[in-house]
């Protein structure tokens, strides 16, 4: 059982699974090929699962892989909370360069389907946040790209001025610099 909402950017889906809670704790179905495919149109086979743990104030992203190694991602927070951000990088899309933000946390269990054609990242809001995602294609280092998290043209309010960043994320390119290669 799952509620499916279409986000304002075409292709992004907010998935609200049924959470079964009792005095023992809780249970959710985090993925089911038949029901997710039928209910949400998420039909691709997943090739890789990833998980990260981060302290509060970390920004990871905005990442994507270039075609033909582009990835769709089914993302969720296992523990903690993030501000999740997706940027439409599909050339010719009416929402090219626009972004969508959503709070994902380990309590509500909301998931997000991020199809190919989006750069994706998140900011951790709590220490020891565990972020999990299923990818439709394996990691392919030569195809990896990073869109600059604070590109002024994107006008993303991350709610933090000086996040903890990797060297790769500090060196991301602006959308204008990446656009000719998309």
Any catalytic annotation for residue 139? Answer: no
Q: Which of 63, 69, 120, 139 is catalytic?
A: 63
- 3-state class (DSSP) for residue 39: helix
Q: In angstroms, rounded to a whole number, what is the distance separating the alpha carbons of residues 29 and 49?
A: 16
- Positive or negative, the Cα torsion across 143, 166, 162, 103? positive
Any catalytic annotation for residue 63? Answer: yes
Contact in structure between 176 and 87 (CB atoms under 8 Å): no
Residue with tokens 């038949």: 34
Contact in structure between 121 and 59 (CB atoms under 8 Å): yes
Q: Which of 6, 99, 133, 139 is catalytic?
A: 133
Catalytic residue positions? 63, 133
């Amino acid at each position: 059982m799952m509620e499916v909402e279409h986000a304002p950017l075409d292709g992004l889906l907010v998935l609200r699974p049924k959470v079964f809670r009792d005095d023992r704790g809780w249970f959710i179905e985090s993925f089911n090929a038949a029901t997710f495919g039928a209910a949400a149109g998420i039909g691709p086979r997943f090739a890789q699962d990833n998980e990260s743990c981060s302290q509060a104030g970390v920004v990871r992203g905005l990442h994507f892989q270039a075609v033909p190694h582009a990835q769709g991602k089914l993302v969720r927070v296992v523990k903690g909370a993030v501000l999740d951000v997706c940027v439409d990088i599909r050339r010719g899309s009416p929402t090219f360069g626009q972004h969508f933000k959503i709070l994902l946390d380990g309590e509500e269990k909301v998931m997000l389907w991020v199809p190919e054609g989006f750069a994706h990242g998140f900011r951790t809001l709590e220490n020891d946040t565990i972020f999990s995602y299923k990818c439709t294609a394996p990691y392919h280092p030569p195809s990896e790209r990073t869109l600059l998290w604070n590109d002024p043209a994107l006008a993303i309010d991350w709610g933090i001025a000086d996040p903890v960043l990797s060297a790769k994320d500090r060196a991301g390119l602006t959308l204008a610099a990446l656009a000719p290669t998309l």
